[in-house]
Structure 1
Amino acid sequence: MALSLLLALVPASAFAQAAPRAETAASPDGSIVLTVSTDNDGRPTWSISRRGKLLIAPSKLGFILTDGIGLQRGFAIDTVERARASSRWEQPWGERRFVHDVHNELLVRLRQDASWGGHAMNVRFRLFDDGIGFRYELPTQPGLATARIADEFTEFDIVPKGTAWWITGGEWNRYEQVYQKTPIEAVATAHTPITMRLDDGTHLSFHEAALVDYAGMWFKRAEGQKFRATLSPSSRGPRVVRDLPFATPWRTVRIADTAAGLVESDLELNLNEPNKLGDVSWVKPMKYIGIWWGMIRGDWSWAEGPRHGATTARTKQYIDFAAKHGFGGVLVEGWNKGWDGNWFGHGDRFSFTQPTADFDLAGVTDYARKKGVTLIGHHETGGNIAVYEAQLDDAMKLYARLGVRAVKTGYVADAGGIIAPGDAPGETRMEWHDGQRQVQHHLKVVETAAKYRIAVNPHEPVKDTGLRRTYPNWVAREGARGMEYNAWGAFANDPDHEPTLVYTRMLSGPMDFTPGVLSLEGANKAPLASTLAKQLGLYLAIYSPIQMAADFIENLEAHPRELDFIAKVPADWSESRLIAGEVGDYAIFARKDRASADWYVGGVNDATERTLTLQFDFLDPGKTYTATIYKDGDGATYLTDARHRIAYDTIRVKRGDTYRLWLAPGGGAAMRLHPGR
């Protein structure tokens, strides 16, 4: 009796912690519901459901630090703020002219118990009808002036079963891989974007937005279908070092009923900051040609000597072709000194201002200007950013003086990592391609180029995270296995490679894929896994504001009808829709020219022939269009010489009409729809 009385006088809190506080928020249409809470150990968690179905179970949030108590436990929700936003903003170039940003925001302020360090950590969530983004914000606070992050502890515990399309994170060849298709529970460590189709048909894509002064995120499976963010490493120990206050990149989840819903989302763009450069009318979408295909095939060389590709005479020949057929630029690689010897993965001999003896840089740029063509510059670093950064300003200043308006950069370092400046003069350190130091480097290049009104197109880049909104001169990048692999072997890129890229890599932003190999041959006549019509369809399927016609100019000229299409197809759109497609199988787009009333339709197919019924319900009402069609010819297949078979058709169509389109194995199609006759 006495014991019972004593227990009755003790507060319940002495035996059990009060139920953790939970906060919820919903997307504008109410379909997506977020719940943020803490568990009994004070670990912050987040979860989301869609239409009443749990998609991501409670998943932990936080950081592991190298020099202190981690930001993982002992937290409670302190305060929250809520906001709504609805706006429309205009892209200077892109897949569509106007982007709508409608979201609800929840800012959760977390306070750590003093016994765990007493730190403050905020998490800002933005909910859209097509997904969610969240980021950490570490405010100024006593006892934590600098965050030295060993890794994030951000979890994504995916509930429903499904299929994933992914490439391995942390590999020597960066993002240049063939995509794997596996059950979600079989994923190892993936680069993002990683795309998933759940068994009920829901489509997901996990990625990040606004990657600035931070390490790239890999998507690592912990157990079952639970994933954790893990950051690209650094040679310095901590993967990220940042002074407070700072915000991390956004962690993003696109959610859609269909594959088209994923493709048409602007979620990452909306999570980036607006244009910081002001007037960017000097950024000009264009199509270009270049001597690159002959070099990547091995016909010509980057190094000086009898096979040197970048000669004055050859470049002028390409400039003449560009002027004749309406191409805006000519890319010239190997124009500068430093390619002789073993540059691969070293780059210590490169000069970015001195041309080779057989290339008259000033004369060529002057010749191009008189022809109405611009030279597209090239800065290959061999992965040595220490050498490049030392010359960067002078190199961009030279290009600006000569009228070069765009530059392709490169970081080929397959034999190792990035050679970055060290702490002492002359010292270097090895870093990862997507680590914090290389992320800093890419932004330095883009900002320096912007100072001289030059656009940048990096190859071997850090993945795209939507920063083209903030820096519109960051026009495209490689960041996937592109056309170049087809130069090195038969069917090097499988026919399902491009229909997979549309729903994976292309969710991050424009890609310099370099289509337009009309000969359908790589080195030693190695065949491409493509029909002729598919080469045209790539201009609609793989978006970039700078599109290359990659083949030799004599091969382009040998296909006058196809060349005419490539010359006319825009690289800048007012509207884009995926009108038919499934992940890894096929993708057909309808895109409207920003500079005219013309529509273009086309895309790519995998190895399975199929017949589609295309609906022309996107056309403007009350108008009749003349459709010029390029499609796979009878019996076409990528497997034989029948890959060259192409058929042409001209029909009259209006809104509401349909068209039956047969796609060959490895095939594709392209159409131009012009109002009137």
Structure 2
Amino acid sequence: MKKIQHPLMALLLLATALSVACSADRTETVSSPDGNIEIKFCLTPQGEPTYSATYKDRPIVANSLMGFEIKDAEPLTGGFRMDGVNSSETHETWAPVWGENDSIVNNYRQMAVNLSRGDLKMNIEFRVYDDGFGFRYLFPEQPAKQYVVTDEMTQFAMAGDHTAWWIPGDYDTQEYEYTRSRLSEIRSHADDEFMPNVSSQRFSPTGVQTALLLKTDDGLYLSLHEAALVDFPAMHLDLDDSTLVFKAHLTPGPDGTMATFDTPFKTPWRTVTIGEKATDILASNLILNLNDPCALDDVSWIHPTKYMGVWWEMITGASSWNYTDAENFDLSTFDYSKAKPNGRHAANNENVRRYIDFAARHGFDQLLVEGWNIGWEDWFGKEKDYVFDFVTPYPDFDIAALNKYAHDKGIRLMMHHETSAAVDNYDRHMDKAYDLMKKYGYDVVKSGYVGNIIPRGEHHYSQKQVSHYLNAVKKAADKHIMVNAHEAVRPTGLCRTYPNLVGNESAMGQEYQAMSPKHCTILPFTRLKGGPMDFTPGIFEMDLSKTALGNKLHKNATIANQLGLYMTMYSPLQMAADTPDNYERKMDAFQFIKDVPLDWSESRYIDAEPGEFIIVARKDKNSDDWFVGGVNAEEARDVVLDLDFLDPDMKYMATIYADGKRANGYTNSNDYSISTREVNSSDNIQVRMAVAGGFAISLKPII
């Protein structure tokens, strides 16, 4: 009979073998400022770089190999010698342009290990914080000017069969709902029916994407991700489920290689965030801290933006992006002046003015208009290089008049550029497109990359595309334009360096109309750790047949849940995503959306558990007002909210937006209550969060 080795036994044997091989003169350590996290770097007798990590002497990452495989060269995984170690410590505070807090402490200890093999030099830099650590590879200038990476060999050897919240490894999309399972069970879900997407390529039955959330059996929370992704492909993780070792898996280019770089070069950081409570992960600034400081000299033009959109009515099917339903359409020969309008085109002058009036009347900053430009009839599923020119409006969209109308009302229009994933075409037109925005006073663009990337063979997360997304942000900054990119690579904290990157999608948002209520209680632990998401909260009509005749979907949420999202899904760019008609019927609840700020001086995560609920309190950056919100998943729960975060010398008027007694996000979404009471810091507020429910509270000082 064949004896089957338990996966954890194999892992322990690997860890033991590597630790025995590392002698004292080949081992270096660095600890976090509080001493709880220790990173041990070891060079084996074969010259293999390895690392391990502990938290309060508990293993977090067992001994794990490091390095790269290089085209037409010996792998950068062994044969190294250690030439020296440079250590330092940094303690500073920096102020984000916008964010969850008005200041962030950046306190770490650093260890840079200098390695060489002949003329080749490869250094590995570790930074260790109280809430986690990161490491990256640095290649100084050297005789071999260019390297072509065929594989990254970095490992994360897990110290147990942790519970994981994960989405499948995919080169083109993160638009999945999360699966909760043991690491050893990921393979058993490989054939699950995940949400289909127009562009998707999964690479392994045990591949997952970052940020990956884990929970150990003894209650620690871990997050594996990367920071400062610049000029390199996005990293996924591929699990060897016989040993519970993750290996970095980079998104390939068309020729199968992963990355090409010239020295000097530094890779993105590979990161592990560690918390004793779930809220520690939510509150961590590790990813932001590992990014470079702001690269822009002038940030006065960057501002939080609350907006509405001519959007949800198309998402639900009530109207159309297209101007016409012409068949056998070819943009190169089509004459729109002779076209028959389909009567369902949403971005028409009358409808846009109606939205402008509503948004301006209720104090919004901007109005997004999708489907304003020619070409929508010619793109979906066709994979053409040239569809949109990003400057020519449809006949029923008077771009000059509508922008003037908006400006006269005190708001702006927000630009929309759907690239149809034809990236080279967007690059060719970008200057003129941005110039058009400047001409008419647009200062935010929502870009989209729906479909398979053109040129064919590229992926949404490959090196070329990663560089494209950042170049678009840099070029936009030159013209004082903020960027909200959809279907782009998931964020890795670059909004610190380029704060005009005010939003991304890069996950399943509310356009997936019937998602599980668990989803929005997981995203803040995963996707949002790299930067804010344009999640599009604020849906007030959950029976979508009332918005779009024939739409049989039901959104699984309560009104109070949708209000709570403005607190739990942080972004400086927040949408009120529903239509004016649906808001008109619930103006009392709509008041919270009007009141809630987008920029905060302080944020406190009160309580949370991924997949179950999140409760957060935030203080307005421009006043003494506090706001609190919670969202809940699939089990109703009672919450006793202590108000000890309030100023003890002040009294506040609390306005409480709560689920009604019969509220249920699946069966009774519209039951909500609004109440007011005077409170102080010694009081508490009791609320019940329904199934798929939530709550929102504004706390304004009584003067």
What's the TM-score once normalised by structure 2's chain length? 0.89
State whether residues 496 and 605 of structure 1, in contact with CA within 8 Å, keep that contact through their aligned partners in structure 2: yes
Aligned twin of 1:90: 95
Aligned twin of 1:220: 238
Aligned twin of 1:418: 453
Deviation at 1:346, TM superposition (A): 3.4
CA distance in 2: counterparts of 1:17 and 1:472, whole angstroms: 43
**1:629-676 deviations in Å (ceiling 9; x for gaps):** 000000211221x22100122122211322222110000000000011
Where 1:483 maps in the other structure, the secondary structure is coil
State whether residues 20 and 76 of structure 1, in contact with CA within 8 Å, keep that contact through their aligned partners in structure 2: no
From 333, 345, 349, the counterpart of 2:370: 333
Aligned twin of 2:490: 463
From 246, 260, 266, the counterpart of 1:241: 260
Alignment of 1:512-661 (within 5 A): 512-522=534-544, 523=548, 524-640=551-667, 642-661=668-687
What's the TM-score once normalised by structure 1's chain length? 0.93
State whether residues 20 and 39 of structure 1, in contact with CA within 8 Å, keep that contact through their aligned partners in structure 2: no
Deviation at 1:472, TM superposition (A): 0.6
State whether residues 171 and 462 of structure 2, in contact with CA within 8 Å, keep that contact through their aligned partners in structure 1: no
Aligned twin of 1:395: 433
State whether residues 380 and 410 of structure 1, in contact with CA within 8 Å, keep that contact through their aligned partners in structure 2: yes
**1:121-174 deviations in Å (ceiling 9; x for gaps):** 1000000000001100011122x21010011110000103320001111165x0
State whether residues 288 and 530 of structure 2, in contact with CA within 8 Å, keep that contact through their aligned partners in structure 1: no
Where 1:475 maps in the other structure, the secondary structure is strand
CA distance in 1: counterparts of 2:537 and 2:494, whole angstroms: 24
State whether residues 272 and 466 of structure 1, in contact with CA within 8 Å, keep that contact through their aligned partners in structure 2: yes
CA distance in 2: counterparts of 1:49 and 1:171, whole angstroms: 31
Distance 1:19 1:33, change over 3 A: closer
Aligned twin of 1:192: 210
State whether residues 22 and 43 of structure 2, in contact with CA within 8 Å, keep that contact through their aligned partners in structure 1: no
Aligned twin of 2:395: 357
State whether residues 163 and 181 of structure 1, in contact with CA within 8 Å, keep that contact through their aligned partners in structure 2: yes
Aligned twin of 1:123: 124
Distance 1:367 1:470, change over 3 A: same
State whether residues 579 and 590 of structure 1, in contact with CA within 8 Å, keep that contact through their aligned partners in structure 2: yes
CA distance in 2: counterparts of 1:457 and 1:483, whole angstroms: 16
Aligned twin of 2:152: 152
Q: Which residue identity does 1:184 align to in structure 2? A: L
Q: Which residue identity does 2:90 align to in structure 1? A: A
State whether residues 503 and 584 of structure 1, in contact with CA within 8 Å, keep that contact through their aligned partners in structure 2: no
CA distance in 2: counterparts of 1:521 and 1:511, whole angstroms: 25
Deviation at 1:20, TM superposition (A): 5.5
Where 2:314 maps in the other structure, the secondary structure is helix
State whether residues 171 and 461 of structure 2, in contact with CA within 8 Å, keep that contact through their aligned partners in structure 1: no
Aligned twin of 1:132: 133
Aligned twin of 1:436: 463
State whether residues 626 and 676 of structure 1, in contact with CA within 8 Å, keep that contact through their aligned partners in structure 2: yes
Alignment of 1:51-130 (within 5 A): 51-112=56-117, 114=118, 118-130=119-131
Deviation at 1:578, TM superposition (A): 1.0
CA distance in 2: counterparts of 1:348 and 1:605, whole angstroms: 44
State whether residues 580 and 614 of structure 1, in contact with CA within 8 Å, keep that contact through their aligned partners in structure 2: no
After TM superposition, the structure 1 stretch with the greater mean CA deviation from structure 2, 94-103 or 219-228, is 219-228
Q: Which residue identity does 1:655 align to in structure 2? A: S
CA distance in 2: counterparts of 1:202 and 1:83, whole angstroms: 28
Aligned twin of 2:198: none
After TM superposition, the structure 1 stretch with the greater mean CA deviation from structure 2, 545-554 or 514-523, is 514-523
Q: Percent identity at matched positions?
A: 43
**1:250-273 deviations in Å (ceiling 9; x for gaps):** 011100101100010000111111
Q: Which residue identity does 1:666 align to in structure 2? A: A
Q: Does 1:206 align with 2:224?
A: yes
Q: Which residue identity does 2:133 align to in structure 1? A: I
**1:359-392 deviations in Å (ceiling 9; x for gaps):** 0111111111111101000000111011111000
State whether residues 158 and 226 of structure 1, in contact with CA within 8 Å, keep that contact through their aligned partners in structure 2: yes
**1:35-77 deviations in Å (ceiling 9; x for gaps):** 0011232110000111111211110110011121110011122
Distance 1:171 1:438, change over 3 A: closer
Q: Does 1:322 align with 2:359?
A: yes
Deviation at 1:506, TM superposition (A): 1.6
From 273, 277, 280, the counterpart of 1:258: 277
Q: Which residue identity does 2:291 align to in structure 1? A: N
Where 2:687 maps in the other structure, the secondary structure is strand
Q: Which residue identity does 1:672 align to in structure 2? A: S
From 650, 671, 674, the counterpart of 2:700: 674
Distance 1:17 1:644, change over 3 A: closer
Where 1:554 maps in the other structure, the secondary structure is helix
Where 1:57 maps in the other structure, the secondary structure is strand
Where 2:377 maps in the other structure, the secondary structure is coil
From 245, 248, 270, the counterpart of 2:289: 270
Q: Which residue identity does 2:526 align to in structure 1? A: T
After TM superposition, the structure 1 stretch with the greater mean CA deviation from structure 2, 357-366 or 179-188, is 179-188
State whether residues 20 and 38 of structure 1, in contact with CA within 8 Å, keep that contact through their aligned partners in structure 2: no
Deviation at 1:17, TM superposition (A): 10
Gaps of 5+ in 1: 1-15, 421-428, 487-491
Alignment of 1:443-522 (within 5 A): 443-486=470-513, 492-522=514-544
Deviation at 1:186, TM superposition (A): 2.9
CA distance in 1: counterparts of 2:524 and 2:145, whole angstroms: 42
Distance 1:19 1:580, change over 3 A: closer
Aligned twin of 1:11: none
Distance 1:197 1:363, change over 3 A: same
Q: Which residue identity does 1:510 align to in structure 2? A: P
After TM superposition, the structure 1 stretch with the greater mean CA deviation from structure 2, 56-65 or 178-187, is 178-187
From 292, 297, 306, the counterpart of 2:316: 297
Aligned twin of 1:170: 170
CA distance in 1: counterparts of 2:439 and 2:595, whole angstroms: 30
Where 1:419 maps in the other structure, the secondary structure is coil
Where 1:149 maps in the other structure, the secondary structure is strand
State whether residues 421 and 448 of structure 2, in contact with CA within 8 Å, keep that contact through their aligned partners in structure 1: yes
Aligned twin of 1:4: none
Where 2:170 maps in the other structure, the secondary structure is coil
Deviation at 1:347, TM superposition (A): 5.7
CA distance in 2: counterparts of 1:635 and 1:587, whole angstroms: 21
Deviation at 1:19, TM superposition (A): 6.4
Where 2:583 maps in the other structure, the secondary structure is helix
Deviation at 1:23, TM superposition (A): 0.3
Q: Does 1:308 align with 2:345?
A: yes
Deviation at 1:594, TM superposition (A): 0.7
Where 1:314 maps in the other structure, the secondary structure is helix
Q: Which residue identity does 1:168 align to in structure 2? A: P
Q: Which residue identity does 1:191 align to in structure 2? A: Q
* Deviant stretches of 4+, over 3 Å: 16-20, 342-347
Q: Which residue identity does 1:176 align to in structure 2? A: E
Q: Which residue identity does 2:354 align to in structure 1? A: Q
Distance 1:247 1:257, change over 3 A: same
State whether residues 37 and 77 of structure 1, in contact with CA within 8 Å, keep that contact through their aligned partners in structure 2: no
State whether residues 347 and 381 of structure 1, in contact with CA within 8 Å, keep that contact through their aligned partners in structure 2: no
State whether residues 591 and 600 of structure 1, in contact with CA within 8 Å, keep that contact through their aligned partners in structure 2: yes
CA distance in 2: counterparts of 1:541 and 1:663, whole angstroms: 14
State whether residues 39 and 51 of structure 2, in contact with CA within 8 Å, keep that contact through their aligned partners in structure 1: yes
